[in-house]
């Protein structure tokens, strides 16, 4: 941990060190290494004489929180946050070990290289370089790295915000993951996407009941058949397109960059111009509901009396009150719909001082930067922070190679981050934090 001599060396070292701590989150309260990662960060904070707390529902599922007092008490505080956990790995699908942080092709390979140990490393390296010089932020800064983000945050961000609210009082904005990365359009225009919105989460269980019986007999009350019809209805349903402000701004800027205009009646025409971002942005035009798991039966010649499916539902800001009712109408009255996880959708304003600081920091490192907002189709720990009225933004800046399909690396095989992109991110994050 003490080998690095400057910001760029330090961010590479921190990123590699964090990847080598296996923090796989399997869900159902099964996880590896989050406490070890929190302890690693604690050693960095200790070196800087920053007071911290390692907290969690048990000794395995730890988050770490710290606070740097500001020099101007009249200003509201700000939260810088990341998460410690990563999703599981299918080792046979990887070309390199997932937890060794090997460097090859000028990239760091490993689970968490993109989601989001790169961002954690940027924050920590920037703070180290600033604090060791005696720097203090104008605004009080809450620093927190959460456990359990990849399983909805019940044991991480929701636990921390419920039990340690004092760290977040008087804070008005939070800066976390999945934003600030570059995306170069086919005509060479380079966009940097700041996440200002994210869809809400409804992880649902659909259940059907019927008459159990022998598999050789006619059965008009087959639970599997009922559930299958419901899933087919859901898969075929087209939710209405609704263009939210963050999506509209992105599509208008994309159209302008291509010398055309955005037509709200045909948004997919402009979405198609986004190349590898098309899939992500398409998902933010409407609500979505995707069946992801099935469970029924125990023997081939037995018709079961019950069948269930799990569905990953995501709804746009403003649709929380109607989304579950819509799902129930789509699947039909024979199906029981239970929301096992339900979390808010978010939308923050783009034209604010904090986005201005992000824009200035990006422009200082890349004068060609064209900064735009976007909506994340997934969710982050910003949802838990929103209970305090804190506005969430995604900003882990990266200048990416034009041919890298960045969004496919989230939860994907062979996750990796270019070292040049990581160093760019550290320089940009350093400028941003210094300006706070």
Round to whole Å and give the CA distance between 107 and 97. Answer: 14
* Dihedral of alpha carbons 436, 431, 146, 51, sign: negative
**85, 34 Cβ separation under 8 angstroms:** yes
Inter-residue contact 377 to 250 (CB < 8 Å): no
Question: What pLDDT, on a 0 to 100 scale, did the predictor assign at position 34?
Answer: 96
Rg of the chain taking only CA atoms, in angstroms: 23
Q: Where in the chain is the domain with CATH 3.40.630.10?
A: 7-178+380-435
What confidence tens digit (pLDDT) does each residue in 353-404 have? 999 999 999 999 999 999 999 999 999 999 999 999 999 999 999 999 998 9
CB contact at 8 A, 423 and 11: yes
CB 162 within 8 A of CB 249: no
Which of the four pLDDT bands, split at 50, 70 and 90, describes residue 89?
very high
Give the model confidence (pLDDT) of 151-167 as tens digits: 989 999 999 999 999 99
Q: In the numeric block, which tokens belong to residue 296?
A: 């029924």
Average pLDDT, the chain: 96
Is it the case that residue 243 has pLDDT exceeding 90? yes
Percent of the chain at pLDDT > 70 equals 99
pLDDT of residue 207: 98
Q: Is the pLDDT of residue 2 over 70?
A: no
Which helix (H) or strand (E) is 14 found in, with range? Answer: helix 7-19
Q: Which fold has domain 7-178+380-435?
A: Aminopeptidase (3.40.630)
Phi, psi of 260 (to 5 degrees): -135, -175
DSSP assignment of 201-241: EEEEEEEEE---EETTS--S--HHHHHHHHHHHHHH--PPP
Q: How far apart are CA 86 and CA 98, in angstroms?
A: 11
Contact 85, 23 (CB under 8 A): yes
SS3 state at 163:
helix
For residue 47, is pLDDT > 60?
yes
Q: Look at residue 28 in the predicted model and tell me its pLDDT.
A: 84
Query: What percent of the chain shows pLDDT beyond 90?
Result: 96
pLDDT of residue 127: 98
Residue 1 predicted with pLDDT over 70: no
Note the pLDDT tens digit of each residue in 113-149.
Answer: 999 999 999 999 999 999 999 999 999 999 999 999 9
Q: Which CATH architecture has domain 200-237+294-307+317-343?
A: 2-Layer Sandwich (3.30)
What residue ranges of the chain are covered by domains with CATH 3.30.70.360? Answer: 200-237+294-307+317-343
């Amino acid at each position: 941990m003490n080998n690095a001599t400057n910001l760029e060396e330090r961010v590479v070292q921190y990123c590699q060190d964090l990847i080598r701590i296996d923090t796989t989150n399997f869900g159902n309260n099964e996880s590896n290494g989050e406490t070890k990662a929190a302890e690693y960060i604690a050693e960095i904070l200790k070196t800087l004489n920053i007071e911290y707390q390692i907290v969690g529902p048990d000794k395995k599922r730890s988050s770490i929180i710290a606070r740097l007092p500001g020099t101007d008490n009249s200003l509201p505080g700000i939260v810088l946050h990341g998460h410690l956990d990563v999703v599981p790995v299918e080792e046979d699908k990887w070309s390199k070990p997932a937890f060794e942080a090997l460097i090859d092709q000028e990239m760091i390979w490993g689970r968490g290289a993109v989601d989001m140990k790169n961002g954690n490393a940027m924050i920590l390296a920037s703070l180290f370089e600033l604090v060791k010089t005696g720097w203090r932020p104008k605004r009080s800064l809450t620093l927190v790295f959460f456990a359990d983000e990849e399983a909805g945050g019940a044991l991480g961000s929701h636990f921390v915000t419920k039990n340690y609210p004092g760290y977040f009082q008087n804070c008005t904005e939070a800066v976390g993951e999945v934003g600030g990365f570059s995306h170069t359009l086919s005509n060479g225009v380079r966009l940097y996407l700041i996440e200002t919105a994210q869809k809400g989460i409804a992880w649902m269980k659909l259940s059907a009941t019927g008459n159990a019986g022998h598999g050789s007999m006619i059965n008009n009350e087959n639970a599997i058949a009922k559930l299958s019809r419901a899933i087919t209805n859901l898969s075929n349903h087209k939710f209405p397109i609704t263009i939210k402000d963050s999506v509209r701004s992105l599509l208008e800027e994309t159209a302008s960059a291509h010398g055309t205009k955005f037509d709200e009646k045909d948004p997919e025409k402009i979405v198609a111009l986004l190349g590898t971002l098309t899939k992500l942005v398409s998902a933010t035009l409407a609500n979505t509901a995707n069946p992801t798991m099935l469970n029924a039966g125990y023997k081939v010649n037995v018709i079961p009396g019950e069948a269930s499916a799990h569905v990953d539902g995501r709804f746009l800001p403003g649709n929380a009150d109607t989304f579950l009712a819509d799902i129930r109408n789509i699947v039909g009255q024979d199906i029981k719909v239970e929301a096992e996880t339900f979390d808010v959708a978010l939308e923050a304003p783009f034209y604010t001082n904090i986005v201005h600081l992000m824009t200035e920091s990006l422009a200082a490192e890349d004068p060609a930067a064209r900064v735009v907002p976007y909506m994340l189709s997934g969710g982050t720990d910003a949802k838990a922070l929103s209970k305090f009225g804190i506005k969430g933004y995604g900003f882990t800046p990266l200048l990416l190679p034009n041919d890298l399909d960045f969004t496919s690396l989230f939860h994907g095989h062979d996750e990796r981050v270019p070292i040049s992109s990581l160093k760019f991110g550290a320089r940009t994050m350093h400028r941003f934090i210094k300006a706070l």
